[in-house]
Structure 1
Amino acid sequence: MDNGQLRFAHRADELADANTPIDPQAIFDYLYFHVIPSPRTIYKGIYRLPPGHTATLHNGQVKVERNWVPQFDELPKPSFDALKGEFLQLLQDAVATQLDGSKPACFLSGGTDSSTLAGMIGLASGKTAATYSIGFDAQGYDEMEYARLAAKHFKTEHHEYYVTPDDLVQGIAKVAAHYDQPFGNSSALPSYYCAKMAREDGVTKILGGDGGDELFGGNTRYAKQRVFGWYQNVPELLQKSVLEPLLNTGLASRFALTRKAGSYVEQAREPMPDRLQMYNLIMHLGPAEVLTPEFMGQIDVAAPLHFQSEVWKGATNCSELNKELAYDWRYTLAEIDLPKVMGATHCAGVEVGFPMLDDRMVDFSLKLPSAYKLKGMKLRWFFKEALRGFLPDEILTKRKQGFGLPFGVWANSHPELKALATESLHSLAKRGVVRTDFIETLLTKRLPEHPGYFGEMVWILMMLEQWLAAKAPNFKMA
């Protein structure tokens, strides 16, 4: 609000100027989520309309309300064959709706969603799909073989690019500054280079497979949380009188089996979404160990979980799995994955469409039985069975990976990338946000010992500093 008027724009930075203060709480939210979820933005007094919400202005006051709440209405007597036929037709129609007559193209990671799009483009358009894949010359991070398998299976016009550490050195500042606020999902860089490759090949719109996991139960954490849910079937007397006292002892922690059992009980006792905070990077490290006392004095470390809990409560009258899906529609899709892909493609000069999130596909998923999404411990059971024979079996059974970036590995071995990360983190420490001693330990000890795990912390801190350097160079904690 500005003198009784509502100002709005597509980007938060379009409403800000050099005098707009940075919100310390938003920085903590960024370190917690690796993005800044709505309604907060990096700027004090500037807010982002949450997904599925409407803002109305009346008598100088803004009222924000939800305008869409998912209503899960599972079919009591589903027919697999009937649902399969409906699903395949809806999927083809959704792809056709996104095609605009230009060169038909899609991202191709080699996973089920992108591979499905590669095949459906041919059915929907009658043309050969152009597919674009990113690889990494790092053990455990490259899955180009699956992308090639899908491209060969559907006879696509296939294109590949291997991202290098030099690409990161050249692209980090550009991509960081392109977003309207700090954005720390590391696959934004590979997505940018993939979209850039497509743009240079004449593509003006590319399709992404985002949404399939969240609509049809494909994330591994859904099976993991189901295992923790089993603990609730244990009689409470046995929980409180035997298991928890026995496993919460120094003796139990000495042995691998009882230590693992104790960890299971500790996590199972926590309700959702509180349990997710146990895996959170900055909460695991300890905010006070990472952040300066001055910064800690201006933030509420409990605020992110409070917002998460409110979102969790929004899905009612549905199974525990569907509550997780609805939660992920907000936090995984609307706050992370979609802004990531849209930002990366826009930076490369390409439009993007998401057939999996077609309204008809969402409505279809709402009526699908929970057991069709997670059957026992089988993720995406219906989705995969419905596409069996359409997709190669190797893709249906592969482990999910995507465009994961081997940043931590490269930051240890590539001098220029290491120098960029080191300079960025020390610069951030000078702003009074992060403790200097934490930065030193992170770069000299933790990153070399565990590059995959601590590389993520280095990345989000580096991207925060890169954004501040471009958009708020004078920011410093008072």
Structure 2
Amino acid sequence: MSGICGWIGHGAQDRDLIGRMAAPLARFDDSAVHQAEGSRSAAAVAGAGDVHRQDGLLIALWGHPVLRDPALAQQAGTRGTAAVLAAQRHLGAEKLCGLLGGAFALCILDERAGEAILAIDRLGVHPLTWQLAGEALLFASSADALIRHPLARRDIDPQGIYNYVYFHMVPAPGTVYKDQQRLLPGHFLHYRQGRVETRPYWQMAFQEDGRRSFDDLKEEFLAQLKNGVREASAGAKVGAFLSGGTDSSTIAGMLCDVGGAPAETYSIGFAAQGYDEMEYARIASRHFGTHHHEYYVTPDDVVAAIPEVAAVCDQPFGNASAVPAFYCARMARKDGVTRMLGGDGGDELFGGNERYAKQHVFARYEQVPSLFRKALLEPAIFNFPGGDRVTLLRKARSYIEQASVAMPARLETYNLLGRYGARQVFTEDFLAGADTNQPLAGLAQTYGASEAKSLINRMLALDLKITLADNDLPKVMKACELAGVEVAFPFLNDAMVAFSAGLTPQQKLNGTQLRWFFKEALKGFLPPEIITKQKHGFGLPFGVWLQEHKALQDLASDSLTDLKKRGIVRGDFIDQLTGTHLREHAGYHGTMVWVLMMLEQWFRQRTGA
């Protein structure tokens, strides 16, 4: 990957230290490393970045930042964005970060004042990990870079491991290392003489009472889409992921319009019943006239990719879709593509996840008067003789039980770890160092931070962080990094994000109709089959293949056997998981096999054992 790294408050005599920290940032694409050092600070940028140094001030900026003020943007065209930011230091940290849009990671180190600012973009496309070590502040785009500093802690945090198994990733601000944290999307860190404070410089502001006509909204929406794709594709040979869903198909179609020529599109298929969505990708390709490329991932491909995916991730990461995303990006790289466009963000901006409709149905129960629910309805349903043998009553009981759970905990009623039970999965010694309530507490904190009034917008705000920034973006970013290509996300253009915030709740979720405005606005642009298809994506048939492929079985068995020795997961649970559970339901329990296998693979890549 590329990124930034460095420190302030540490007078290292090791002149090669900053170069060693930066090495992991360029290990997959041989990016050039630009570095600058002071007496008690240093920073490096790997890849296409911007480094500015003057009079004890050091600024490193990486990604594709945009200065939101037109006059400042014009200055940046000749002087560089970092130099422009240096001239605006008087504004203070919050306003200074607010000048920036686009996807970026930023550090400003001021040795004379003993002060530093770190920040990442509004949607968290580019992560930034940090640690306070005594009076020194260490930071890096990847924990793999940060832990190369001699002051960095390398101890594994049991809470990070627990959160990984719960979520299948480690949600920010937590990390897998003790005393390390990551900046949240739209946040900045202010360091001054050994003290640290983090605060948001931006958060999603929903305008829920919009009164604009559909025609006006549609015109602006299509214009913003085209502009977002144009900006994302500038200066590179571009290709697009094409799963055949609404988001990727929209990006592919807009890329054809913007380029004035057939877009290069890439799809992954699986020779497994119920998992292959290639036909929808072909429908979109034929409709827009793209130059389409396909690859069918095999179980052998999965075996080969697993150690590589574990190596590229600086935190344990259990989203199996990273594997097909990698093969898709690698296919494009072989064609000379240097930047892939992803459709990520459409669900979280416009209301596309199926759980939004489901939670809307559950929320209706809250509208029933409490007295009627508690005094009449619930006693009648739960105390009805033989009710467990009546299908309708069983469904009613299940509905009431779930609807009675407060948000956002209700979203986790099907959580895989919750279904097994933490004490059945983890050893007692491990659980002594982890708070099993922390995952739900973290969700509640994020959910409660939104000022949105409607249920749909509160869920969208939650998913912008948990589903998008913590899961989907790292999945695509790491897959592309491993393949040696850049990735950009046109839906996450600042103007498009602001546009989505101005849609009414009903335009996102109309009753139980997902993406109502999005789909209505794209009628006539997208093929009808794409608009009406069920959501799928690049889901990996791991559990199915695990039942029949010897090399995959051996890799999983070997990984889980070694994981037993780490004292984290109970050996009897692993035996039951790979035996009885997997035979009962390969698809369901295969997910936990994957999550635990990738945990062991992550350990191996960092410890060599």
Fold agreement, TM-score > 0.5: yes
Task: Return the match for 2:256 from 122, 132, 144.
Answer: 122
> Residue 263 in 1 paired to residue 416 in 2?
no
Q: Which moved more, 1:49-58 or 1:353-362?
A: 49-58
Q: Name the structure where strand makes up a greater proportion of residues.
A: 2
Aligned runs of 1:247-258 on 2, under 5 Å? Answer: 247-249=381-383, 251-258=386-393
Q: Distance in 2 between matches of 1:246 and 1:281?
A: 31
Write out aligned runs for 1:276-425 (5 A): 276-425=411-560
Instruction: Name the residue aligned to 1:99.
Output: 233
CA apart distance, 1:472: 3.2
Larger Rg, first or second structure (1 or 2): 2
Q: Which range is displaced more, 119-128 or 176-185?
A: 119-128
- Counterpart for residue 7 of structure 1: 138
Q: How many Å separate the matches in 1 of 2:237 and 2:158?
A: 44
Report which of the two has the higher share of helix. 1
Take 1:172 and 1:85, find their aligned partners in 2: how far apart are those partners? 44
For 2:286, give the aligned amino acid. K
Q: 2:589 aligns with which of 442, 454, 457?
A: 454
Distance in 2 (CA, whole Å) between partners of 1:68 and 1:32 is 28
SS in 1 for 2:547: helix
* 2:182 counterpart SS class: coil
In 2, distance between residues paired with 1:234 and 1:34?
36
Deviation at 1:228, TM superposition (A): 0.1
Aligned to 2:321, which of 176, 187, 192?
187
Which aligned runs of 4 or more in structure 1 are off by greater than 4 angstroms? none
SS across alignment from 1:65: strand
Any residues of structure 2 matched to 1:90-169 within 5 Å, and which?
90-169=224-303
Q: Distance in 2 between matches of 1:328 and 1:395?
A: 23
Cα distance, 1:248 vs structure 2: 3.2
In the other structure, the counterpart of 2:24 is none
Select which of 172, 188, 194 maps to 2:306. 172
Instruction: Give distance in 1, aligned partners of 2:332 and 2:382.
Output: 55
Name the counterpart of 1:197: 331
CA contact (8 A) 2:342 2:487 kept: yes
Q: Distance in 1 between matches of 2:517 and 2:186?
A: 27
Residue identity in the other structure for 2:146: L
Q: Deviations over 1:16-44 (max 9, x none)?
A: 25971111110000001100011111111
Q: CA deviation at 1:155?
A: 0.7
**1:188-233 alpha-carbon deviations (Å, 9 max, x no partner):** 0010010000001110001000000110001100000000001011
Aligned partner of residue 63 in structure 1, secondary structure: strand
Q: Quote the Cα distance in structure 2 between the aligned partners of 1:317 and 1:120.
A: 31
The answer as to whether partners of 2:452 and 2:458 remain within 8 angstroms in 1 is no
CA distance in 2, matches of 1:317, 1:379: 18
Shift of 1:318: 2.2
Count of equivalent residues: 474
Match of 2:350 among 204, 211, 216: 216
- What residue number does 1:246 align with? 380
Other-structure match for 2:202: 68
Q: Structure 1's 349 and 317: CA in aligned 2 closer, same or farther, altered over 3 A?
A: closer
Q: 1:335 to 1:372 in 2, by over 3 A?
A: same
CA distance in 2, matches of 1:19, 1:338: 26
C-alpha separation in 2, matches of 1:108 and 1:339: 18
Please tell me whether the aligned partners of residues 104 and 127 of structure 1 are also in contact (alpha carbons under 8 angstroms).
Answer: no
Q: Which range moved further: 424-433 or 136-145?
A: 424-433
What's the CA shift string for 1:252-295, capped at 9, x where partnerless?
Answer: 22322111110100000111101122111101110001111111
Higher alpha-carbon deviation: 192-201 or 272-281? 272-281
1:429 alignment partner in structure 2? 564
> Helix, strand or coil for the counterpart of 1:413?
coil
Query: Are the aligned partners of 2:210 and 2:502 in contact in 1 as well (CA < 8 Å)?
Result: no
The answer on 1:16 being equivalent to 2:147 is yes
Compute the displacement of 1:471 (Å): 0.8
1:473 deviates by: 4.7
Task: String of CA shifts for 1:65-111, please: whole Å, max 9, x gaps.
Answer: 11112111134423011110110011000000011243331000000
What is the CA–CA distance in structure 1 between the aligned matches of 2:183 and 2:325, rounded to whole Å?
25
Contact 1:187 1:403 in 2 (8 A): yes
CA–CA separation in structure 1 for the residues paired with 2:501 and 2:243: 26
Query: Is the Cα contact below 8 Å between 2:147 and 2:154 reproduced in 1?
Result: yes
Q: Deviations over 1:386-441 (max 9, x none)?
A: 11011100000000000000000001110110111111111111111111111111
**Counterpart-to-counterpart distance in 2, 1:58 and 1:8:** 15
Asked if 2 retains the 8 angstrom alpha-carbon contact of 1:12 and 1:48, the reply is no
Give the equivalent residue in structure 2 for 1:49: 183
* Structure 2 unaligned blocks of 5 or more: 1-131
Q: For the residues of structure 1 that align with 2:455 and 2:210, how far apart are their CA atoms? A: 17
* Counterpart contact for 2:238–2:338, Cα < 8 Å: no
Q: Is 2:245–2:536's contact at 8 Å kept on the other side of the alignment?
A: yes
**SS at structure 2 position matched to 1:299:** coil
SS of equivalent residue, structure 2 residue 296: strand
AA matched with 2:558: E
The 8 Å contact of residues 220 and 379 in structure 1, kept in 2 or not, is answered as yes
1:237 Cα deviation after fit: 1.1
Mapped partners of 2:386, 2:262: distance in 1: 63
Structure 2 counterpart of 1:419, one-letter code: D
| More divergent stretch after superposition (421-430 vs 386-395) | 421-430
| Aligned-residue identity in percent | 54
Structure 1 residue runs without a partner (length 5+): none
Counterpart position of 2:217: 83
- Give 1:175 deviation, angstroms: 0.8
Determine the C-alpha separation between the residues in 1 that align with 2:199 and 2:386: 52
Contact 1:135 1:142 (8 Å CA) reproduced: yes
Q: Distance in 2 between matches of 1:114 and 1:246?
A: 48
Structure 1 vs Structure 2 CA RMSD: 1.3
Aligned-partner Cα distance in 2 for 1:19–1:153: 53
Q: Contact (CA 8 Å) 1:22, 1:44: kept in 2 or not?
A: yes
Query: Which of 215, 230, 236 is the equivalent residue of 2:364?
Result: 230
Do the aligned residues in 2 keep the contact of 1:16 with 1:43 (CA within 8 Å)?
A: no
Structure-2 separation of matches of 1:3 and 1:71: 37
- Aligned mates of 2:225, 2:376 — CA distance in 1: 51
Tell me which amino acid in the other structure corresponds to 1:283: G
- TM score, norm. by length of structure 1: 0.97
How far does residue 251 in structure 1 lie from its aligned partner after superposition? 3.1
Q: CA deviation at 1:59?
A: 2.9
Give 1:244 shift. 2.3
Give yes or no for the alignment of 1:37 onto 2:171.
Answer: yes
